[in-house]
Copies of this chain bind each other. A is one copy, B any other.
């Protein structure tokens, strides 16, 4: 069985700054321009973070609104996915843009370590974000930083706590979380097939692991993020 490969583009992460790389798009118009180029090249999902005026990660709903409007105008049919990740805000602020009703939003369902800190996603915040997504009819992309997150996603989906079709992204290569390990990748794919055979999955390798993990994902029939 073949399925269309969804290319997901994360135009601006929450970490890089103009100082690291002057080509990183920061302003909304830079982001729209860069998304449009990726759309023309075949990307079908835009995974979006926004920045404040000083270039710092933000979860300001107004910024998201302007970016979503720009992407919808320039990239007809492209899926707009907002980040509710913890680098851009704390607590309920992480979901402040969900009333904009983007097609998708990222959702962490567990906690794990990051290079220098704990990536905190307490159970009550996870449940609140998932409920907000149901309320606004937004399909979550579950960010799986570890194996138990896949189990948690499948269990939440089975009990109706996640809107839409289950979609999981394996995130590999973050220091102090799951390394980019081929055996683990294969086990993740096997676990998805066992626990949630109707779900879709994609995979993202961080930093120097990006191309390697993309290749694994394409070969195994998943989607990729570039």
> With A117-B122, A118-B122, A181-B151 as given contacts, are A112 and B194 in contact (CB-CB < 8 Å)?
no
Q: Report how many copies the assembly holds.
A: 2
The number of chain A residues touching the other chain, given as a range, is 20 to 34
Which residues of A from 97 to 123 have beta carbons under 8 Å from B?
Answer: 110-113, 115-123
Among B151, B178, B179, B194, the residue within 8 A (CB) of A178 is B151
Residues on B with C-beta less than 8 A from A184 are 147, 151
Residue of B nearest to A124 (CB): B116
Cβ–Cβ < 8 Å partners of A33 in chain B: none
Best-surrounded residue of A122, A146, A187 (most CB of chain B within 10 A): A146
Contact between A122 and B111, CB atoms less than 8 A apart: no
Q: Is A152's beta carbon under 8 Å from chain B? A: yes
What are 20 A-B pairs at a CB distance below 8 A? A110-B146, A110-B176, A110-B177, A111-B111, A111-B112, A111-B120, A113-B122, A113-B123, A113-B152, A115-B123, A116-B123, A118-B120, A118-B121, A145-B148, A146-B148, A147-B147, A151-B178, A151-B179, A152-B176, A155-B179
